[in-house]
Amino acid sequence: MRRLVALIFVLLASACYQVDGETVAASASIRVDGVKDGRYRRPDGVEVRVRWNEGEKQYDVASPDGPTGKARAARLAPGLFLVQYLDAARLTLMAAPKGDDVVLFFADKVAEPRLLKAHGLGLKPGPINALTGPARAVADFYKDLAVSGEFREGERLIYLGG
């Protein structure tokens, strides 16, 4: 199952990391203004349905041919959010609504090693790079990344409608 998840998210690989821990706790998860419920096209061309689940304080993410995942979001800085996507794997990324779409961001290659070292994190290469270290350190890595501005716009989730 992990291989399938890795293949599905291969185009997102530069924008996210696989993690072991919970980087966005359920108690910290918020609904992001500007992210609409409805259908989105991922960068790999797969359409998913995203719906805010008020009872669980997280997004339900369903693809036509795959299992349903969950996504939680927490504010990092004005307009920027830490998102953890959970299904067979745990993926963490930085994102922001832009118009109707959701833009994914990735760390500058020059800043990434410095920020990883500052937070005591390791990087394990793979189809989706894995951050090794405590979940709190991963969240702090993203907080510093958001504040530093040392990131670039990557792929988008394109809003297709309700």
Q: How far apart are CA 58 and CA 27, in angstroms?
A: 10
Burial 111-149 (b: 16+ CB within 10 A, else e): bbeebbeebebeeeeeebebbbbbbebbbbbbbbbbeee
Contact 96, 83 (CB under 8 A): no
Domain positions in the chain are 2-159
Task: Please report which residue ranges of 1-134 form alpha helices under DSSP H.
Answer: 2-8, 111-118
pTM (predicted TM-score): 0.87
pLDDT for the residue 8:
40
Q: How far apart are CA 80 and CA 147, in angstroms?
A: 10
Segment holding 66, helix H or strand E = none
DSSP state of 127: S
Contact 49, 56 (CB under 8 A): no
Q: How far apart are CA 97 and CA 75, in angstroms?
A: 12
CB atoms within 10 A of CB 69: 21
Across the chain, which has 162 residues, the per-10-residue mean pLDDT values are: 38 73 94 96 91 96 83 96 91 95 94 96 92 95 96 95 90
pLDDT for the residue 16:
87
